[in-house]
Structure 1
Amino acid sequence: MKYKKIFPILLLLLSFNFYGQHENMKEKKEQIKALKVAFLTTELNLTTSEAEKFWPIYNLFDDKQFELRHQKMKSFMRRMNDGSLDQITEKESNSFLVQIEETEEELFFLRKKFVQNLREIFPSVKILKLKKAEEDFNRKLLQQYRNKAHKK
């Protein structure tokens, strides 16, 4: 009798917890994006005119890149992380390899188109600076994550 009353309450509390975690992740993603915007703007020394042209192109590229990396590779990553990779068949592994190759190719062509679009608004030197600034940002972010994990 008590379980019938407690179970719905427990489910409700768990759903709030999962919702809170999702919101927390979404918030952290937005914070990282804001830091990245500030970092790239500073590193590239963007003028107002350049920024107006650059950010829509960059945001579209970044969103598509995220989608390719996270949505298309989701089933593969799930399989890799659940420990069943040792039991995978040759046919399944070939299928995953093809999927990875296709995704990497899509990423390559996406990056290539992105650079072509940037050439219309930036000199080549600034495009190279963007590449370096992205790598620097990612390196700093990873270092902060490592430092934070190390302190725990």
Structure 2
Amino acid sequence: MKKITILVFFLCYTSLSMAQRGNAQYDQEKLEAARVAFITNRLDLKASQAEKFWPLFNSYQEERKSIMDTLSKLNKQSGWESDDEKAKNLINKRFELQEKLLAREKLFMNDIMQVISPSQAVKLGSANRDFTRHVYRMQQGRSRDE
């Protein structure tokens, strides 16, 4: 099973690399397939775990992205605020969003540890960051080659 996962990862990685070289825009589907393969391999997920893990992870990621987008808009807005009362409201809204993000992460971790082991759950954050860094480095290398 692990050999298959590694093979899938390298196929996705190769496809992603080729797609990026041929086109400045990346293919979101291929990127997500590579992310799935990378994280599945890193966490050493069994098929039964992966089947339950990915719907939970994807749902969490969508909610997290939504909260982060809202927080980003709020941060941009706060740069233009000079009224103290409005500034205080923006600060409070920012804290509310950060608390919401933390509460969602706690819920996600509780849910996910019903599917994967705590040690796998701990590895998840670094695996996701490592994948993002890897894609970023690939993109930087591609930009220098052009």
Same fold (TM over 0.5): yes
- TM-aligned CA deviation for residue 75 of structure 1: 3.6
- TM-aligned CA deviation for residue 118 of structure 1: 1.2
Choose the corresponding residue for 2:117, options 108, 118, 123.
123
Q: Which runs of 5+ in 1 are unaligned?
A: 1-23
Specify the alignment match of 1:7 in structure 2: none
Choose the corresponding residue for 1:99, options 80, 93, 100.
93
Matched, 1:113 2:107: yes
Report % sequence identity: 22
Quick one: which amino acid aligns to residue 73 of structure 1?
A: L
Aligned length: 123
Change (3 A) 1:61 1:51: same
**Structure 1 runs of 4+ with >4 Å offset:** 149-152
Separation in 1 of the partners of 2:65 and 2:121? Answer: 20
- TM-aligned CA deviation for residue 61 of structure 1: 0.5
Let me know the Cα RMSD of the aligned residues: 2.4
- TM-aligned CA deviation for residue 34 of structure 1: 2.4
Residue 36 of structure 2 aligns to a residue whose secondary structure is: helix
Separation in 2 of the partners of 1:146 and 1:92? Answer: 40
- TM-aligned CA deviation for residue 78 of structure 1: 4.3
Specify the alignment match of 2:6 in structure 1: none
Residue 73 of structure 1 aligns to a residue whose secondary structure is: helix
Residue 140 of structure 1 aligns to a residue whose secondary structure is: helix
Separation in 2 of the partners of 1:150 and 1:94? Answer: 44
Specify the alignment match of 1:143 in structure 2: 137
Alignment of 1:1-152 (within 5 A): 28-70=27-69, 72-73=70-71, 75-79=73-77, 85=79, 88-151=82-145
Change (3 A) 1:95 1:141: farther
Query: Normalized against structure 2, the TM-score is what?
Result: 0.71
Which has the larger Rg? 1
Query: Normalized against structure 1, the TM-score is what?
Result: 0.68
Quick one: which amino acid aligns to residue 71 of structure 2?
A: M
Residue 115 of structure 2 aligns to a residue whose secondary structure is: coil
